[in-house]
Amino acid sequence: MRILATALAAVLGLAAPAFAEISVNDISRYLNSFQTAQAEFTQVNNDGSISTGDLSISRPGRARFDYDAPNNGLVIAGGQQVAIFDPVSNTAPEQYPLSQTPLSLILARNVDFGRSGMLVAHGGDNTQTSVTLQDPQHPEYGNIQLVFTPNPVTLRQWVITDDAGSQTTVILGDMQTGAQVGSGQFNIPLEMQRRGLSN
C-alpha cells in the first residue's frame, strides 16, 4: 500500500504545473530591447486615491507622466533630475536627483539586474513574474517592484516603496515600444519656460 501511495504521489507530482517564472536575464534583455515606449497608466497612491494618465519613456534616463483631469499634474524625469509640476502653482517644480529614486534602475542605459545587491526578490509562476530592486549603495532610497507577464515578456506594473514605507503603484495599459517620442517633452527647463516659471 505504501509503495502504491508513493508511486501515486510521484505521478501527481509530475502532473502538477511547474513554476516557470521569467528569468532575470530575460527581464533585463526585454528592458534593454527598447529605447522608447508609451502607455496609459493608472496610479494608486498610498492613501488609496487613484489617478490616470499617459506615460512616455525614452531610455536612458527620461520619462514623462501626464496626468488626466482633474489632477492635470506632470512629472518629468530628464537631465538626471525628476521634476514635479503643480498645475495650480506659479512656482518652480520640486526637483530631485533621478539617481535617488528607484525609477532610475529601469531607466538606466544598460539594465542589469544581476548586478551585485540590486536584486532583492524574484519569483512568480507561468502567469506573471515580479522582481524587486534597490540601489545596493543606497537602500535608503527605497525600492521598486516590477511585474511582468510572459509570451512575450511585457512590463505590466511597478510598485515604488519610499524610505518611509509609503507605496505608489503604477499599472500600465498595453505598452507600445519603439514609439516616436520627441526629446523636448523630457526637457525640464523647456517645460518651465513654456509655463512661465523660473528657478
DSSP sequence for 143-182: EEEEEEETTTTEEEEEEEE-TTS-EEEEEE---EET----
Distance between CA atoms of 74 and 64, rounded to whole angstroms?
7
> Which domains occur in the chain, in start order?
23-190 (2.50.20.10)
- 135: closest CA among 160, 110, 108, 101? 101
C-alpha distances out from residue 51 to 67, 124, 137, Å: 7, 27, 32
What are 162-195's pLDDT values in tens digits?
888 999 999 999 999 998 999 899 999 999 999 8
Q: Cell triple for residue 46?
A: 498610498
What are 84-135's pLDDT values in tens digits?
999 888 889 999 999 988 888 889 999 888 776 789 999 999 999 999 998 8
Q: pTM for this structure?
A: 0.85
